[in-house]
Amino acid sequence: MKLRRTSLSINYTPKNHNTNPTQLQANLTLLLILKAHFLVYAFLWLGLAATAFSLPPKFYDKVCPQALPAIRKVVEAAVHRERRIGASLLRLHFHDCFVNGCDGSLLLDWTPAFVTKKNARGNLDSVRGFEVVDQRVKWI
């Protein structure tokens, strides 16, 4: 028995395959619009999920009515001592909240067993105001 070598080539073009450039452009545009809608809805859903687990604005008014006035006194005294500390506190808040939400991870002190964001290279000489936050915690 002798095997014979044969070549088989298949040329298949789907019936609905359209190579019209205008139609291809329209299909790509529609695909981009669908992707954009998906991203918008994904971000909205993430935003709603994040706010669903946050504290209501008046939470401390009921639980600890002295908290906000005490914090205000400490911050006002710090701003009176050094005018730029207000902007530094805003920057501290931004660096803590922008990446993973306001988890306070930037406020944690470094230990040999636990490396924190407070001493990270990007925050080492740029973020300040930690002493004001520590004073606020002592008041409360």
Going by the annotation, the residues of the binding site for Ca(2+) are 96, 99, 101, 103, 105
User: Active-site residue 95, yes or no?
Assistant: yes
CA distance 109 to 123: 13
Give the residue ranges of the annotated binding site.
96, 99, 101, 103, 105
* Residue 87, amino acid: A
CA distance 27 to 106: 46
CA distance 2 to 28: 52
Name every residue whose Cβ is closer than 8 Å to that of residue 121 and which is 6 or more positions away in sequence. none
Tell me how far CA of residue 115 lies from CA of 65, 84, 111, in angstroms: 35, 28, 6
**Among 17, 37, 93, 95, which one carries the catalytic annotation?**
95
Catalytic residues: 95
